[in-house]
């Protein structure tokens, strides 16, 4: 069974840090692009980061560049999103995604193969 399970969300004050984890199972993890999305109330879902270990490609959206860092622990089929200098506007549900063909270029990908259920991140001012 294919699964993506996010963890590490919670509440933090502005300026603080959180590390999200995405644990994957049921597929060949390092052959896939692994992405992070977020969705805040009343806003469209935003792709914020992506990593493809096969060619080393990493992408960050401008909204998080310089503050967030994506990394992988392939032996554990896990991708992390280290979030530093958090701002109230980072408050959202964060989702982990996986896709076999996406190149992590940052261009729109209409259909990701797999989605996690999301983890809530709340940043207070």
pLDDT (tens digit per residue) in 75-90 = 789 999 999 999 999 9
- Taking only the tens place, the pLDDT of each residue in 43-98 is 999 999 999 988 889 999 999 999 999 999 877 899 999 999 999 999 999 999 99
In this prediction, residue 108 carries a pLDDT of: 87
Query: From its phi and psi, is residue 118 left (phi > 0), alpha (psi between -120 and 50) or beta?
Result: left
Rg (CA), the chain: 13
Q: At 29, phi and psi to the nearest 5?
A: -55, -50
What are the strands, taking DSSP E only, across the chain?
A: 3-7, 10-13, 18-25, 33-39, 46-52, 57-60, 68-73, 78-83, 92-99, 114-115, 119-124
């Amino acid at each position: 069974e294919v699964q993506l399970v996010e963890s590490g969300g919670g509440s933090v004050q502005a300026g603080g840090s959180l590390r999200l984890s995405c644990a994957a199972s049921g597929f060949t993890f390092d052959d896939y692009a692994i992405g992070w999305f977020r969705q805040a109330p009343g806003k469209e879902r935003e792709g914020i980061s992506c990593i493809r270990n096969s060619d080393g490609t990493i992408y960050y959206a401008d909204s998080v560049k310089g503050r967030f860092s994506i990394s992988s622990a392939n032996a554990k089929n896990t991708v992390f999103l280290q979030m530093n200098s958090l701002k109230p506007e980072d408050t959202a549900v964060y989702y982990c995604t996986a896709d076999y063909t996406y190149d992590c270029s940052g261009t729109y990908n209409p259909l990701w193969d797999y989605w996690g259920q999301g983890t809530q991140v709340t940043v207070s001012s």
